[in-house]
Structures are given as structure tokens and as C-alpha cells.
Chain A
Amino acid sequence: MKALCWFGKHDVRIENVADPKILNARDAIVKITSTAICGSDLHLYNGYIPTMEAGDILGHEFMGEVVEVGPEVTNLKVGDRVVVPFTISCGSCFYCKREVWSGCDNTNPNPTVAESLYGYSGAGLFGYSHMMGGFAGGQAEFVRVPFADVGPLKVPDHLPDEQLLFLSDIFPTGYMAAENCNIHPGDTVAVWGAGPVGQFAIKSAYLLGAEQVAIIDHYADRLDVAARENPGVVTINFDEEDVYERLLDITGGRGPDSCIDAVGLESHGTSPDALLDYAKAKLFLATDRPHALRQAIYCCRKGGTVSVPGVYGGFLDKFNFGAAFGKGLTFKMGQTNMHKYMPKLLGEIENGKIDPSFVISHRIKLSEAPMAYERFNEEKDTWRKVVLSPN
């Protein structure tokens, strides 16, 4: 089959590789009909995530048709149309039983590195480094899905792929980010990053009852999408205005009740701390560039919540923990507990409350994926979300 393989920083290629096989009794093989490039794939593309190996197949947002099932997979049959969550969960450990699906104990075959770095390893992820299990991803024609009796969500035939595909990661991720804000009536939620996760976080914050939502970015096209999709949303371009002052203006001087960092470890920005982060990351003195997170902490009201769906991998420098302590903030974060949200959010799509396809900017063939990575990385204003079709 053809698959998009990572070979190093800024080097991804389509290769012809062996077709995946069933390796365990609870596996299934899915023929991919649609897959997407995630903003977090750019962290791999830019070389920010350790333990990648040349030849790894990327991709953790995908859906398709079941073509083979292992003997223990009884809930799926050949021909079923499924969306596959990017986290792999066993369904029976302490964490899965408590709906902390991304903390699954049993799905990382190589937990030693994560244990050394983090103390414990979370769930295995598709196409996201060997530290996260080394599973071949779904930017390919076929994919092997471990614990297929737990993860894949069967989806109805009458909805097109592009409405369903984002149930694999970014819609639930944006939703969990908003849910983590514990939104109360009258709340203002500020979202950093108008990428796809930020867009879903805005929609989810409104779904969960936020009074006011502000979106912070410096890509005009991305802010325009947010404004078009969410009448009344406050857009803040950080290249043009002071974010803190504007947030105070719209909240009567209180600050937002919750702040969502939907940017993660490659935060942009032109303030001194952001430039210092950039220099340090270039010199390998720091791994993550947390400018957006620092600003979210600074802007959040006393006793508020900072929710972090953006991906972080290593160590943060000059982290303003004093501000967090001084204001008694609550932090919520982590890989999305996918399995908890997918059925509910499928319901929201079916009943017409949301059509997730609004985030798509480009629809291209899998064979063009290397070009798409390059353009997505360079032209974030217009390349917002790329959907790849293997056929």
C-alpha cells in the first residue's frame, strides 16, 4: 500500500510499504477513506517530538471501512464504516474504566521512555513517535487498529466523510477543552489559537453555555473563519492589539473566566519572551515554546481555569507559575479522552447542531501529502485543515 512516511525534519514521503496485518486477536484492519493532517503532525514535521524513527507512518485522524477483524472483535464486521479515535485504549484497565481513556495502562508497547520522562506512560497513539507506542498511522491506504472492539465508532452511511472525520481527534479535543472549563452562566471563555482545535473549542464553549467567547490569533483568515462561524465572537489579532487590555475591556476588568491554550508547544508571538523561546528552542536549550500558555495564565481571572488541549512534549522555560499560584488558577489538560466524547458528538452532528466540515480548507490526494505538509507548515493563514483521500 502507499503510506506517508516520516524520514526526518521537513522530510516526509509517500512510500510503497507492506499492507498491515492482524497481529492480535482484538485487532482490525481498516481501509482508509479519508484522513487529515493535524496541526500536531507539524510538531513531528518540524522535529519537535522525540523518538521518531525514519520510516514511521504518520497520521492519527482517519476513518474508513473495516476490511478484516481479529477473532475477538465481535462488535464490528467487515464492511462497517468507522471513525477511529487517535488514542488506543484497552477498555479494561483502571483508567479506561474511569473514562480516563488517554491514560490507558496497556496500549504502549514501549512505555520506558515515557516513564522516564513523565513518570508513567499514557495510552498509545497512532503515528505519533515511539515514545507514544510507535503505532503505524493512518495517512495510508490501510491501517491496523489495536483493541478495535473498544475504539472505532460506527457511523451512519447518510453523512459524508468530511462531516465525520474530525470525530477522530480535533472535534472531541476542542470539546474536552471547553468541558474542562466548567462553564457557568455568564462566563467568558478566551481561546488562544484559531486553528481547527480552537475553532471546535469556540463552538463547544457556546454549546456548553458560554456567554461570550474571544479568539486570539494573528492569522486573519483563521480569525475570519471564527467570526463567520460564530456570530458575536470577539476576535483579537495579537499583531494589532494588546491581548490583555482587550480581554479586560470585554469583561469589565475581571479577565476571562477560562482560558484555552489551543496552540501548544510551537507558539508564535513577537513579545520578548516568545523570541527568547524561539532562540532557545533553536539552540536546544528548551524544547517547548509556551508563549500562548504564559499569556493565557496572565490573562485568566482569579480562581479561573486554564485548559490546555495544545500539545506539549518536554520542558517549559520561564513558566509564570507565580501568576498561576497568585490567582489560584485551576489547570486542566491532557490528551483527549476520546471514547468518552465520540458517541455524544456524533449525536450533535446527526441532529444538525454542528457541521464540522467548516474547518476544511484543502481536499487533496494522499499522494500529494508531502506538498501539503510543506504548504500547511508555511502558509497557515490559508492552509487551515487538509483532508487527504487515498483513492
Chain B
Amino acid sequence: METNERSLTNFLADTSQNVGGAERLASTVAGGALVAYGLKHGGVGGTLISILGGGMLVRGTTGHCHVYDAMGLDTSEAKLRSPFSKGSLLTGKVHVTKSLTINKSADELYHFWRDFENLPKFMRHLESVSSIDGKRSHWIAKAPLGQTVEWDAEITSDIENHRIGWMSLEGATIPNSGVIEFRPTIERGTEVIVTMTYEAPGGKLGEWIAWASGEEPSIQIADDLRRFKMLMETGEIITIEGQPSGREPLPKAMTAKGGF
């Protein structure tokens, strides 16, 4: 196996158990951040967060997660539920599967997703997707420093109300493909299973991580899927961005309703 990322990657690969390389990296980063947050804030809460962060650090550095042990026994279909393979950082290929149940019919979910122009409404890293024809579309994603990455993609499979597959065409900076499946349940809505694969050409792993704005792909996809669920179930995506707090106190004169 080729090694593009030397010491750290070797270390990760050597101890790899059941958590994918990229995800472990994220666990390590997020765990470290939580430990730092906890230590900074102190108190019982801070300690709790630090402990949680420590757990994630261990998971990240050892690559072993008991939850994934259980998930490994899940009804995995080789094609859709590929586990994070050993050494995914080495080959520069990242494969992520996430699922969520959405309380809407497969019909509604399929048709919303099939119109790729809707995707930027809940995929935070996408700026726009425009249709070229019935099968092909042009995607623009946000990149660091206000830059963008663009590519064309083509539908690779399309079974109404069941499945949509797509894949980037020749020339994409980060070759990528995705599959979404819709499985009806009994009175629980529709299970939505998304699998995304990204390829980072040799040596470009660092660039790829930067492209993902420092957010690890499995977390990014889980978040996007959650926003898709919110949008479909409630028509909006819950937020607290823009609400007041004492972190930005105002002088009394600045609010009409201020003053004691």
C-alpha cells in the first residue's frame, strides 16, 4: 500500500480497528477540542465535557469504537454499507454511509432530492447545483478563502421513489460519487441511506481536508442529512444564529426597548 502521509498515517493504520482513518482524525480533533473546551470552562460541566473529549481522543487514536462493533453486525450490504476501510487515508479514498429516518413518504423525499438544484438548501458546503440536462448537472462548492470548486456530475442510477446515484465526470478536482436510497417503513416514515465516496488524488489529502472546511466528511454528511430531515419534516432548518445574548451587550441607548 502506498504511503502518502507518513508517520501519523502509519501510526493510525497500524492500530486501526473499526473506525475509518478520516473519521478517526475527526474524533481526535473533536476530542481534543472538547478536552480544551472542558478545561477552559472548568466546573463539573467542563469536567464532563473533558471526559467525553478524552473518550473521543482514545477512539481517534486507537481507532476502536464499540458502537461500530455493533454497527458492523448491522444488515450491511456490501455496496451501500461499506465500513470505513483500513487505510482509507492511505489510498486517499473516503467512503461514508449515513442513514436517518424521515417522517415523509419516499415519493416526497425522492422528488425533492432528484431536483439537485434543491441540494444547496441543506448541504452547507454547496453553493449551487444547476441542471444541464435531464442527466447532467453543474456543481459549485465552497472552498477556503472564498474560493469555489466546480465540477459536472451525471446521474448513474435512477429508480423512482427508491434510489438515485450520481458521480462526478472527468476533470473534477475531487472525484466524488453518491447514492441515496429510500426505504419505506411501517408508520415511521422513510429510511434514507446516503453513501458518498470522495477520492483525493495522491498526496492531496491535506488539500482535501481543507476543501471540506476542516469538517470531517462523515460528520458533514450526517449534518447535511439532518438538515434535509428538518427541511422535509418542518419546512425550515432550526437555528439560533442571530439571536441576542449577553456576549454582545449593547449600551442602553442602542435599543429602543432598553433602559431600566
In this complex, the interface size class of chain A, counting residues with CB under 8 Å from chain B, is: 35 or more
Least CB separation from A9: chain B residue: B43
Give 3 closest A-B pairs by Cβ, nearest first.
A5-B246, A50-B45, A55-B247
Interface status of B170 (Cβ within 8 A of chain A): no
CB atoms of A25 and B244 under 8 A apart: no
Known: A16-B258, A50-B49, A116-B52. A287 touches B250 (CB 8 A): no
B: contact size bracket: 35 or more
Most buried by A among B103, B234, B241, B250: B234
User: Max chain A CB contacts within 10 Å: which of B52, B243, B249?
Assistant: B243
Q: How far is the CA of A284 from the CA of B43 in the complex (A)?
A: 8
Interface centre among B56, B189, B238, B240 (most CB of A within 10 A): B238
Cβ of B247 to closest chain A Cβ, rounded Å: 3
Expressed in whole angstroms, the Cα–Cα distance for A56 and B240 within the complex equals 12
Please name 6 further chain A to chain B contacts, defined as beta carbons within 8 Å, in addition to the given A23-B242, A284-B47, A314-B48, sorted by A numbering: A15-B246, A17-B246, A17-B248, A52-B41, A93-B234, A109-B238
8 Å CB contact of B250 from A7, A18, A55, A111: A18
The proximity string for A residues 86-108 relative to B, scoring 1 for CB distances below 8 Å and 0 otherwise, is 00001111100100000001111
Contact status of A13 and B240, CB under 8 A, knowing A1-B255, A51-B45: no
Residues on the A chain within 8 Å of B238, using CB:
24, 90, 106-109, 124, 133, 146
Query: Which residues of the partner chain A approach B236 to less than 8 Å between Cβ atoms?
Result: 24-26, 72
Is B240 in contact with A16, judged by CB distance below 8 angstroms? no
**A284 (CB) vs chain B CBs: closest residue:** B47
The verdict on A284 contacting B240 (CB below 8 Å), with A26-B235, A367-B260 known, is no
A215 to B189, CA, bound (A): 44
The reply to whether A19 and B233 contact each other, CB–CB distance below 8 Å, is no
The interface residues of chain B lying within 8 Å CB-to-CB of A51 are 45, 49
When C-beta atoms are compared, the residue in chain B nearest to A56 turns out to be: B245
Contacts of A2 in B (CB 8 A): 258-260
Q: A303-342 toward B: CB 8 Å interface, digit per residue (1/0)?
A: 0000000000010000000000000000000000000000
Please determine whether B43 and A13 come into contact, CB atoms closer than 8 angstroms: no
Q: Is A364 an interface residue (CB 8 A)?
A: no
Whether B255 lies near A19 (C-beta < 8 A) is yes
Interface flag for B6 (CB, 8 Å):
no
B interface with A by C-beta (< 8 Å): 41, 43-49, 52, 56, 101, 103, 188-189, 226, 229-230, 233-252, 254-260
Contact partner, A17, options B49, B229, B235, B250, Cβ 8 Å: B250
Q: Which of A109-162 contact B (CB under 8 A)?
A: 109-111, 113, 116-117, 124, 133-136, 140-142, 144, 146-147
Tell me the bound Cα distance from A50 to B44 in angstroms.
Answer: 7
Query: Inside 8 A of B44's CB, which chain A residues have their CB?
Result: 47-48, 50, 281, 284, 287, 314
State whether the Cβ of A54 lies closer than 8 Å to any Cβ in chain B. yes
Cα(A97)–Cα(B101), bound, Å: 14
Q: CA of A94 to CA of B233 in the docked complex: distance in angstroms?
A: 9
Is there contact, CB below 8 Å, between A106 and B244?
Answer: no
Partner of B247, one of A13, A47, A54, A146: A54
CB distance from B224 to the nearest CB of A (A): 14
Asked if B233 and A105 make an inter-chain contact with CB atoms under 8 angstroms apart, the answer reads yes
**Known contacts A16-B251, A48-B45: A92-B239 contact under CB 8 Å:** no
B45 to chain A, nearest CB (A): 3
Asked if A3 lies at the interface with its beta carbon under 8 angstroms from chain B, I say: yes
How far apart are the CA atoms of A115 and B48 in the complex, in Å?
A: 14
B246 touches A105 (CB 8 A): no
Q: Which positions 341-377 of chain A face chain B at CB distance < 8 Å?
A: 367
Chain A residues with CB under 8 A of B229: 105-106
Q: Shortest CB–CB separation between residue B37 and chain A, in angstroms?
A: 9
- A residues 261-292 with Cβ under 8 Å of B? 281, 284, 287
Q: How many angstroms from the CA of A139 to the CA of B37 in the assembled complex?
A: 27
